[in-house]
């Protein structure tokens, strides 16, 4: 009679008492390690694993942190990829987050021992970066900034029909605004709006004129839009504030993105408030930035809804470090030299080909992503692999996300930092070793 296989399965308490697993439990939490132990015990019962290999298998199955989120190499060529967490933080911002994760002076004046202004240093850094602004506040994303503006300014919001956009995952600007109780007065047509359309829509209960940058699409042909400077002149004596949602968070004009609106220019052109995201072209943490006239910013800050939308200490720390620290990764990607990208692609492809992988260096076109500069592809370079590599690369120990085009898997290097080239090569070679 064969022995009951269940007798060979190590006990849960015995495995958890192993020094290596006890150390893992102190870092990751006992329940997470216990779940991994149970999974390994099931494999032993099924005959897939030898009992003596239990501890090693548990350790191999544990994540590096107590979070389910996994670091991913973004080889899509999309610099600000929403599904991959948008902007990667700079090393300076990461260090600032770690420092701020404990007890901090986020709302305490250490010199007096009394309550101090929240996020004062981050706001000062933001105003130094955008000198046309008189004041600023930070909320948890750009949609929150828009909701706060609609709620705090009240009244009717005047907006061009062509700017009633959908911002991703089915969320639509008009639905967001109307959810705050705001009333919308649509002006113009889908493709054309004039200054008179805006003037004719102003009434005593007009709360603001709102301009929303379409960002992720372009309308061409028989079109007309009213630029910020013309609207500002027309509204100068009306008492109606002009609010511009510029979206992508570009602080100042950038030569690679000639048509992308930026905060400094938009304010200088006469907008009373500008709204933008912190985790797109700015390259910082998820945040909604509101800059402009000091009296309007103060009105937003004192509104009860602001309390529900304000950011935490780690976001403030990361934002300040992004603004004051070295060039963040997104800006480095944007400024990458195409010849340098091609040289990296050739070196990587040659390294992989020497190991027997069907790899080639090819030219490619990267994108800003996050709704920014939809008609401005960025010249780039990629490593081309067989199409079946795409899925196992995503499912590897260090996931790599590329894209498939013309029957090949492409790993675009503009969105991969040079320091990650070795990791990228290792991930490809790991897949190649399992290649049939």
In this structure, what CATH number is given to the domain that contains residue 113?
A: 3.40.640.10
Tens digits of per-residue pLDDT, 263-300?
999 999 999 999 999 999 999 999 999 999 999 999 99
Find, among 80, 115, 118, the residue nearest to 260 by Cα. 80
Q: What are the CA-CA distances from residue 414 to residues 306, 389, 410, 421 (Å)?
A: 37, 20, 12, 11
DSSP per-residue codes, 357-411: ---EEEEEEEB-BTTB-TT--EEEEEEEEEGGGHHHHHTSSS-EE-EEETTEEEE
Residue 68 lies inside a defined structural domain of this protein? no
Buried b (16+ CB within 10 A) or exposed e, 17-54: ebeebeebbeebeeebbbebbeebbebbeeeebeeeeb
Residue 139 lies inside a defined structural domain of this protein? yes
Terminal C-alpha separation, the chain: 40
Residues 315 and 397 in one domain: no
Residues 168 and 269 in one domain: yes
Alpha helices in 101-201 (DSSP H): 120-129, 142-153, 173-179, 195-200
pTM as predicted: 0.89
* pLDDT over 90, % of the chain: 74
Residues 239 and 369 in one domain: no
Residues 418 and 397 in one domain: yes
Continuous segment of H or E residues that includes residue 246: strand 242-247
Tens digits of per-residue pLDDT, 15-52?
999 999 999 999 999 999 999 999 999 999 888 889 98
State the pLDDT confidence band at 1, using cuts at 50, 70 and 90.
very low
φ and ψ at residue 93, rounded to 5 degrees = -70, -40
Total Cβ atoms within 10 A of residue 285 = 25
Please tell me what DSSP assigns to residue 230.
H
Residues 354 and 422 in one domain: yes
Residue 293 lies inside a defined structural domain of this protein? yes
Residues 320 and 177 in one domain: yes
Residue 203 lies inside a defined structural domain of this protein? yes
Res. 401: pLDDT tops 70: yes
Q: Residue 136: beta bridge partners?
A: 291
State the pLDDT confidence band at 77, using cuts at 50, 70 and 90.
very high
Residues 77 and 18 in one domain: no
Residues 104 and 43 in one domain: no
Residues 338 and 310 in one domain: no
Residue 301 lies inside a defined structural domain of this protein? yes
Q: Which two tokens stand for residue 200?
A: 């004719």
Residue 216 lies inside a defined structural domain of this protein? yes
Please tell me what DSSP assigns to residue 204.
T
User: Which residue range(s) make up the domain with 180?
Assistant: 89-326
Domain boundary among 299, 326, 353: 326
Residue 221 lies inside a defined structural domain of this protein? yes
Q: Which two tokens stand for residue 114?
A: 């009394």
Domain boundary among 286, 307, 326: 326
Residue 391 lies inside a defined structural domain of this protein? yes
Residues 348 and 309 in one domain: no
Give the separation between CA 137 and CA 122, rounded to whole angstroms. 9
Res. 5: pLDDT tops 60: no
Give me the chain's average pLDDT, please.
Answer: 91
| Best mean pLDDT range from 63-77, 226-240, 339-353 | 339-353
Three-class DSSP labels, 10-77: CCHHHHHHCHHHHHHHHHHCHHHHHHHHHHHHHHHHCCCCCHHHHHHHHHHHCCCCCCCCCCCEECCC
Residues 57 and 99 in one domain: no
* Mean pLDDT, residues 133-145 taken together: 96
Res. 256: pLDDT tops 90: no
- What local confidence, expressed as pLDDT, does residue 216 receive? 63
- What local confidence, expressed as pLDDT, does residue 338 receive? 97
Res. 3: pLDDT tops 60: no
Q: Are strands 242-247 and 206-212 parallel, antiparallel or unpaired?
A: parallel
In this structure, what CATH number is given to the domain that contains residue 353?
A: 3.90.1150.180
Residues 214 and 358 in one domain: no
Domain boundary among 300, 326, 352: 326
Res. 206: pLDDT tops 50: yes
Domain count, the chain: 3
Res. 62: pLDDT tops 90: no
* Mean pLDDT, residues 325-349 taken together: 96
């Amino acid at each position: 009679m064969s022995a009951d296989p269940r007798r060979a399965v190590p006990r849960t308490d015995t495995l958890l008492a192993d020094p290596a697993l006890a150390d893992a439990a102190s870092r990751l939490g006992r329940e997470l390690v216990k779940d991994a132990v149970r999974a390994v015990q099931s494999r032993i019962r099924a005959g897939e694993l030898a009992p003596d290999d239990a501890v090693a298998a548990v350790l191999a199955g544990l994540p590096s942190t107590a979070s389910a989120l996994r670091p991913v190499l973004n080889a899509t060529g999309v610099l600000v990829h929403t599904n991959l967490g948008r902007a990667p933080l700079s090393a300076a911002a990461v260090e600032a987050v770690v420092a701020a994760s404990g007890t901090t002076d986020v709302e305490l004046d250490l010199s007096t021992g009394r309550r101090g202004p929240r996020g004062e240093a981050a706001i000062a850094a933001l105003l130094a970066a955008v000198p046309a602004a008189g004041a600023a506040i930070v909320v948890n994303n750009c949609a929150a900034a828009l909701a706060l503006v609609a709620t705090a300014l009240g009244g009717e919001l005047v907006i061009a029909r062509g700017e009633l956009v959908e911002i991703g995952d089915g969320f639509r600007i008009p639905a967001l605004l109307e959810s705050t109780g705001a009333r919308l007065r649509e002006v113009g047509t889908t493709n054309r709006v004039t200054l008179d359309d805006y003037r004719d829509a102003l009434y005593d209960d007009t709360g603001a004129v709102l301009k929303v940058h379409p960002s992720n699409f372009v309308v061409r042909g028989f079109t007309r839009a009213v630029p910020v400077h013309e609207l500002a002149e027309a509204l100068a004596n009306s008492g109606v504030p002009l609010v511009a949602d510029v979206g992508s968070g570009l602080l100042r004009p950038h030569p690679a993105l000639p048509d992308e609106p930026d905060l400094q220019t938009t304010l200088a052109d006469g907008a009373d408030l500008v709204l933008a995201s912190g985790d797109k072209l700015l390259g910082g943490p998820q945040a909604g930035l509101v800059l402009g006239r000091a009296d309007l910013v103060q009105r937003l800050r004192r509104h009860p809804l602001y309390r529900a939308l304000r950011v935490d200490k780690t976001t403030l720390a990361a934002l300040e470090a992004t603004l004051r620290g070295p060039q963040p990764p997104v800006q480095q990607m944007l400024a990458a030299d195409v010849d340098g990208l091609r040289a990296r692609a050739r070196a990587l492809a040659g390294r992989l080909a020497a190991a027997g992988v069907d790899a080639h260096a090819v030219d490619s076109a990267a994108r800003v992503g996050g709704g920014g500069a939809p008609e401005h592809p960025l010249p780039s370079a990629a490593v081309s692999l067989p199409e079946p590599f795409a899925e196992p690369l995503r499912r590897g120990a260090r996931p790599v996300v590329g894209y498939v085009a013309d029957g090949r898997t492409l790993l675009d290097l503009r969105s991969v930092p040079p320091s990650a080239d070795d990791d990228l090569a290792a991930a490809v070679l790991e897949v190649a070793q399992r290649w049939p």
